[in-house]
Amino acid sequence: MEKRVVFRSPWLPYLLVAPQLAITIVFFFWPASQALLQSLQQQDPFGISVEFVGLDNFRALFTDEHYLASFKVTTIFSVLVATIGMSVSLLLAVFADRALRFSGIYKTLLIWPYAVAHAVAGVLWLFLFNPTLGIVAHWMRRAGIDWDPVLNGNDAMTLVVVAAVWNQISYNFLFFLAGLQSIPKSLIEAAAIDGAGPGRRFWTIVLPLLSPTTFFLLVVNVVYAFFNTFAIIDTATSGGPGQATEILVYKVYKDGFKALDLGSSAAQSVVLMAIVIGLTIVQFRYIERKVQY
């Protein structure tokens, strides 16, 4: 889509885009190219000598069992966050859309975790589940459940998944609610006249018509689980115990800033960039095509 009426000036448009482009080049393209370059180099921790090593960093990365383990952790984590987060929000959205009374109150109470910072979300849930002072941990112990996120990797994973899902529920909820409200009422009424019950109407009409929203949210949730959950992981478990909750982004940070292995950290950054670019392309190809039904 283009404008028919435009202004003419040889220099003004450049002046207008200059601030945006300057920041983009200095803080996006320059670092990204640095990362690319660094990923092909080997540097000692003091920055005295630099050696060009080609693809060795990547080769080392993909034979490193810790990195592969981190890949696996990230995959499990994002699948859990995306599926649990989306199913719970869809369930709540369907019922909130259906409720005849108090629906405004429910909706308002369900959307506010969005305003809670990721770091704070991690702390809140750790506070509940901490084995010594957490109140939920106490209840679980009383119920006979062996619970210790500080020592047990699976418990730690459960903790960060719950915190991450909790923080993202309101976002998913809002989008599902908007999607549900945009479904023409006549379709649902027609199905009801034909004798379809609520469950049947949901599976055969509502869910298929929600698929563009679902797909969009899927990509958003995966990106969220990959990148934005850093704060939750850092505050709740710091990637531990061992490596049980160390997602890829956390490993980039740890290897780069704590272990000072710059070449490997840069190579990991490049791998992450490739993943994001892939996800974005998928998102745009499919959303452009599927959003009009």
Partner 1 sequence: MSAISSGSVSGGGERSRAHVSATAWKRWWRPAGEGLVENRPFLDFLTHAVLILGVAVIAFPVYVTFVASTVTAEDVLAAPMSLIPGPHLVDNYREALLRGAGNSAAGAGKMMFNSLVTALVIAIGKIAISLLSAFAVVYFRFPGRMFCFWMIFVTLMLPVEVRILPTYKVISDLAMLDTYTGLTLPLIASATATFLFRQFFLTIPDELAEAARIDGAGPMRFFWDVVVPMSKTSMAALFVIQFIYGWNQYLWPLIVTTPAAARRRSSGTW
Measured between alpha carbons, how far is 235 from 121 in angstroms, rounded to an integer? 9
Residue 4 interacts with partner 1 (CB under 8 A): yes or no: yes
Please name the residue that has the structure tokens 């969220």.
Answer: 224
Measured between alpha carbons, how far is 147 from 270 in angstroms, rounded to an integer? 37
The one-letter amino acid code at 248 reads: L
Range 22-51, binding partner 1 (CB under 8 A)? 23-32, 34-35, 38
**Which residue, 107 or 157, has its beta carbon nearer to partner 1?**
107
Residue 228 interacts with partner 1 (CB under 8 A): yes or no: yes
Residue 17 interacts with partner 1 (CB under 8 A): yes or no: yes
Q: How far is the CB of 86 from partner 1 (least distance, A)?
A: 14
Binding mask 240-259 for partner 1 (x = CB under 8 A): ---------x--xx--xx--
Residue 132 interacts with partner 1 (CB under 8 A): yes or no: yes
Range 138-177, binding partner 1 (CB under 8 A)? 138-139, 166, 169
Measured between alpha carbons, how far is 145 from 151 in angstroms, rounded to an integer? 15
Exactly one of 41, 273, 282, 286 binds partner 1 (CB under 8 A); that residue is: 273
Angle between helices 56-63 and 262-290 (to 10 degrees): 80
Which tokens go with 72? Answer: 């696996």
Q: How far is the CB of 151 from partner 1 (least distance, A)?
A: 17
CB atoms within 10 A of CB 198: 13
Q: How far is the CB of 51 from partner 1 (least distance, A)?
A: 18
Residue 16 interacts with partner 1 (CB under 8 A): yes or no: yes
Rg (Cα) of the chain, in Å, rounded? 24
Residue 101 interacts with partner 1 (CB under 8 A): yes or no: yes
Q: What are phi and psi of 50, to 5 degrees?
A: -130, 135
